[in-house]
Structure 1
Amino acid sequence: MREGAPTTRWTADHVARIDAASASSAPVIPVQRRIIDTLDLWDYWPVQRTDGHPAEIMGGTLFIALSAPVLPDPDARHAVARLRLLHRVGTDWRDLGPALPDGLSPGSRQWSGSAIISPDGAMITLYYTAAGFRDEAEISFVQRLFQTRAALSVEHGTIIVSGWTKPTEFLRPDDVHYTSEMTGGGAIGSIKAFRDPAFFHDPANGADYILFAGSLARSRSPWNGAIGIARRTAGNDWQILPPLVDADGLNNELERPHVIVRDGLYYLFWSTQAKVFAPSGPAGPTGLYGMVADTLFGPWRPLNGSGLVFGNPPAAPCQAYSWLVLPDLCVQSFVDLAGLTQPPCHVAQARAHFGGTPAPELRIMLDGERAWLA
């Protein structure tokens, strides 16, 4: 299909096909040791090559994660989130400190994105979400997409990421396909999206794309989540394109969308939560969802007929979130509210159960339009 082909809709009919008795559920997460005792960590991703595989750096993988001090209310972390560098070798993690220097980012906090290493391994390009505005008196919900580059080196056995360029805003909502009004209801799960930029290089045509979580412009429904896309032009700018997938009337947030190519097919994945489905229709579990297509621009077909790849287990419906599928089908996420059979009823309970650290990695299997946990 050509660029700008009709958007695929994820519908209530698809979600209604989820059979709770037979749907794949992740195993219950045992108690996890936190990487950093004084910080909550979530929404992490590896520094990747353009083909999507994690880059090997000093015998391991360099990660970028969202981080925040351990606050009484774990939901408050979103208002102070900052990118942090981590290096993992095997099962050992090393904290490398904040990714961006103080005062460099134009937002009041930093949200998710992706990072690509240059072919020679000397540079990292970071695409990320700047939420709010620097020094704003009141926290706002504006989300802007920025890119910046830094030099990568190893000196005396230490990874050095230095010389970040001034962040540039590379993509803006057009109010034709994607709304620029982010406030929504103002509560977590109700704000609108223009965030989570994920780099994708299409091997079919050699073009570079950015996928992102968006919200439809001109929608009549408060539940108007979409998976947006933009293409890098010959002039090194980014051209915004119609959504790949939308969930108009069904779901408010299709978060951290990303694509891998496997066995000649394109697999599109995203995360969403049970609480952001429209209350008037069917709801799926908090989990990893996806579709498959023959080309990047679809038409897309929901995996397993419904879109659900796997959910959190019924015994722990909020235990993990923000899944990232890598080209080898390894799936990474973070420990959210573990050990609860239902969402927490008060802040102290949320704090006691919030994991704030990487979750055990999972692996999926793919066979055409079927997907399941290995």
Structure 2
Amino acid sequence: MKARSEWTRAAVAGVATQSGAALPLLPQGVTAPFAGMDLWDMWPIARRDGSTVRHGGRSWWFFLAAPRLADPEGRHDLARIRLTSHGEDGWRDHGDAFPDGFTPGSREWSGSAILEDEDGTLAQYFTAAGRRGEAAPTYAQRLFVSRGSFRVDGDTPVLGGWSTPEEIVVADGAWYTVADEIVAPPHGIQGFRDPGYFRDPADGAEYVLFTANAAWSDARVNGVIGMARRDKGAWRLEAPLVAAIGVNSELERPHIVVRDHHYFCFWSTQGRRFAEGIAAPTGLYAMVADSMAGPWRPVNGTGLVAGNPAEAPTQAYCWWVTGEGEVLSFVDYPGVGAAAAERLANPSERRRIFGGVPAPSFRLAFEGQRVTLAP
């Protein structure tokens, strides 16, 4: 078994001497935009060409959301997809995307959203985590899509009319590990999640990328970016786009942006997901190619596009790059230096520090096959 391209230890080793990728320190004590709620992973409503949908002077975003628990790490067991919007007055909350009990998991995890036509047909790609009705949360992960109607009346969204969720593809146990763990191991769960839609402008072919692990590898660190392609109306698994065997175990939220005929595949990962002996920051990473067929090469030679600064290695996470080159993430655990990371082992300290709010956005500069932070 083989992926289209590999992210290697040799490439990541260059991060040690890479300059200009560190993000600025985030301010602490930011106010939550929606009282009593934590927000994290996010994705915009976009068109098939990748452009961000705007209505009434606002962009429209889905976040994962949960009530503010005593321990913020418990939020993953209660996650729901929530519609929000952003404009000159900041963020507005528009409620849960799906009705209670509608999706087939015990909770909803990340995906992508595509406005398929100007009549308002919205395709919501998402992860069903666990199974509805289970007694305790498990870590089974499945990829689904549901179509509904989205329109904006003035600046008020009308969202609903969802079709029965359809499972896109199933992990095959050959390319992709079946993610069905009952208990989360300390080194991290297996993945089959985060469906990110992409339509190739070259030929109109439709793809879904996803976070996964290599079923053919016995290595504990064996993250891959999985891929499915729609063929005659049916989704079919294809070989992984990128493999990071022996490098990184979790390449999350993959999505593609095309700029000046170059294809950029972005993902997020945490520093603790790199293999032993590799020092690289929690950050936004990417590969670049001239077509979907590849070969895919690490952007900037290393893969690193933007990372948390050394003095605040956990300040933000889950970077999403829009078709316009704007980047959004969420505030994770700001103001915690590497030497004080043990503070995060305490649930009450985690609650005190955790942001759970959108981070300030920033823009990327694309220069051929290089991607850097815009001035």
2:299 to 300, 303, 310: 303
Measured in 2, the distance between the counterparts of 1:188 and 1:23 equals: 33
Measured in 2, the distance between the counterparts of 1:189 and 1:200 equals: 30
- Corresponding letter in the other structure for 2:329: S
1:328 partnered with 2:336: no
1:347 partnered with 2:347: yes
Question: Residues 251 and 267 of structure 2 are in contact (CA less than 8 Å); yes or no, is this contact kept in structure 1?
Answer: yes
Quote the RMSD (CA, aligned, Å): 1.7
Question: Residues 301 and 369 of structure 1 are in contact (CA less than 8 Å); yes or no, is this contact kept in structure 2?
Answer: no
1:298: how far off? 1.0
User: Where in structure 2 are there 5+ consecutive unaligned residues?
Assistant: none
Per-residue deviation, residues 221-267 of structure 1 (Å, max 9, x unmatched):
11111001111111x21011000101111111000001111111111
Q: What is residue 164 of structure 1 aligned with on the other side?
A: 162
1:309: how far off? 0.8
Range moving further from structure 2, 344-353 or 13-22: 13-22
Question: Residues 36 and 68 of structure 2 are in contact (CA less than 8 Å); yes or no, is this contact kept in structure 1?
Answer: yes
Q: What is residue 251 of structure 1 aligned with on the other side?
A: 248
Q: Secondary structure at the match of 2:349?
A: helix
Q: How many residues align?
A: 369
Measured in 2, the distance between the counterparts of 1:309 and 1:292 equals: 12
Q: What is residue 65 of structure 1 aligned with on the other side?
A: 63
Normalising by structure 1, report the TM-score.
Answer: 0.95
Q: Secondary structure at the match of 2:64?
A: strand
Measured in 2, the distance between the counterparts of 1:191 and 1:6 equals: 21
- Corresponding letter in the other structure for 1:164: W
Normalising by structure 2, report the TM-score.
Answer: 0.94
Question: Residues 149 and 164 of structure 1 are in contact (CA less than 8 Å); yes or no, is this contact kept in structure 2?
Answer: yes
1:277 partnered with 2:313: no
Measured in 2, the distance between the counterparts of 1:78 and 1:145 equals: 17
Per-residue deviation, residues 81-135 of structure 1 (Å, max 9, x unmatched):
0111112222422111111001101100100000001221421110000000001
1:8 to 5, 8, 33: 5
Q: Secondary structure at the match of 1:247?
A: strand
User: Where in structure 1 are there 5+ consecutive unaligned residues?
Assistant: none
Measured in 1, the distance between the counterparts of 2:73 and 2:211 equals: 20
**Alpha carbons of structure 1 residues 329 and 7: separation in structure 2 relative to 1, 3 Å:** same
Question: Residues 3 and 242 of structure 2 are in contact (CA less than 8 Å); yes or no, is this contact kept in structure 1?
Answer: no
Measured in 1, the distance between the counterparts of 2:134 and 2:141 equals: 14
Percent identical residues: 45
Question: Residues 177 and 214 of structure 2 are in contact (CA less than 8 Å); yes or no, is this contact kept in structure 1?
Answer: yes
Per-residue deviation, residues 12-61 of structure 1 (Å, max 9, x unmatched):
11111112572510011113221112000001111001111111123211
Range moving further from structure 2, 330-339 or 151-160: 151-160
1:185: how far off? 7.5
**Alpha carbons of structure 1 residues 348 and 6: separation in structure 2 relative to 1, 3 Å:** closer
- Corresponding letter in the other structure for 1:267: F
Q: What is residue 128 of structure 1 aligned with on the other side?
A: 126
1:176: how far off? 1.4
- Corresponding letter in the other structure for 1:90: E
Q: Secondary structure at the match of 1:46?
A: strand
Measured in 2, the distance between the counterparts of 1:23 and 1:340 equals: 21
Measured in 2, the distance between the counterparts of 1:7 and 1:21 equals: 26
1:159: how far off? 1.2
Q: What is residue 152 of structure 1 aligned with on the other side?
A: 150
Q: Secondary structure at the match of 2:39?
A: strand
Range moving further from structure 2, 90-99 or 309-318: 90-99
1:44 partnered with 2:42: yes
Measured in 2, the distance between the counterparts of 1:179 and 1:216 equals: 6
